[in-house]
A and B are shown apart, each in its own frame.
Chain A
Amino acid sequence: MNTVISTIVIVASLLLMLASLIVAIRNRPMGMVLLVGFAVLEVAVLVQAGFVIAAVAGGQGPADKVTLFGYVGGQVVIPPAGVFLALAERSRWGAAILVVAGFAIAVMTGRMLQIWAGGA
């Protein structure tokens, strides 16, 4: 698995989580910064998914490919779903939703790296 793109995804998602938390604490709805940020995160997640699919197609990867692709698929869905909910909820709770989304992407990428390395 490409660790550079995974590092980018983890760092970006944690930064966006922090930014969303600040926005929520300041009692503001999701703004343009978070909207663009999560769009960029989605692109990074898609690039990562491409690397995973390419590596698996090239014969690499863990025995448990079903779980791996479960995480890949889940990750691709989360940023758009989070933004969709945050657009519907124009309050601090919309930003709170993005805190959850950012955290989920970071954790899921970490789990993917573990699965790839053959860990539990």
Chain B
Amino acid sequence: MTASISTGPGRALIAVYGLFSLAAGARAAVQIASKFDQAPLAYSLSALAAAVYIALTVALWRGARLLALVGLGIELAGVLIIGTLSVLDPAAFPDETVWSAYGKGYVFIPLVLPVVGLYWVLRHKR
């Protein structure tokens, strides 16, 4: 039953990840297209975050457990590392990314989401 992570609560996770793909993807596209030279690091990380969210939406949708776990790991590491760096060295992050200050601009959902996701995927052994 590998497809089981894509139904039930998993389908609600797909909705949330789809929404974040849209939000992060649109934000990264606007930032990179209009003002990439102002903050190349922050905008590259925006694009990375968007790519992770899109990959996770697809992985959950397709029931690809391994890809989902890898993506969730990168997401959790990303929000923790970039969150910490953005608090310690705000000068390096002149503009917001989804993961800045642990996702404060998105009511900390980016911090909670990978934990919920890991719990959900790991609960389904096999």
Q: Could you say which of A66, A97, A104 contacts B11, with CB atoms under 8 Å apart? A: A97
Closest chain B residue, CB of each to CB of A93: B12
Q: Does B40 contact A (CB under 8 A)?
A: no
Per the bound structure, the CA–CA distance linking A91 and B14 in Å amounts to 15
Per the bound structure, the CA–CA distance linking A78 and B21 in Å amounts to 12
Per the bound structure, the CA–CA distance linking A70 and B7 in Å amounts to 29
Closest chain B residue, CB of each to CB of A84: B15
Q: Does B30 contact A (CB under 8 A)?
A: yes
Q: Could you say which of A67, A91, A100 contacts B15, with CB atoms under 8 Å apart? A: A100
Question: Whole-angstrom distance from the CB of A68 to the nearest CB of chain B?
Answer: 10
**A interface secondary structure, majority:** helix
Q: A85 to B23, Cβ gap below 8 A?
A: no
Q: A85 to B14, Cβ gap below 8 A?
A: yes
Per the bound structure, the CA–CA distance linking A94 and B16 in Å amounts to 12
Residues of chain B lying within 8 A (CB to CB) of residue A100? 12, 15-16, 19
Q: Does A79 contact B (CB under 8 A)?
A: no
Residues of chain B lying within 8 A (CB to CB) of residue A93? 8-9, 11-12
A-B contact pairs, 14 of them (CB 8 A): A70-B26, A70-B29, A74-B22, A74-B23, A77-B22, A81-B15, A85-B11, A85-B14, A88-B11, A89-B12, A91-B8, A93-B12, A97-B12, A100-B19
Listed in ascending order, the chain A residues whose CB lies under 8 Å from chain B are 66-67, 70, 74, 77-78, 81-82, 85, 88-89, 91, 93-94, 96-97, 100-101, 104
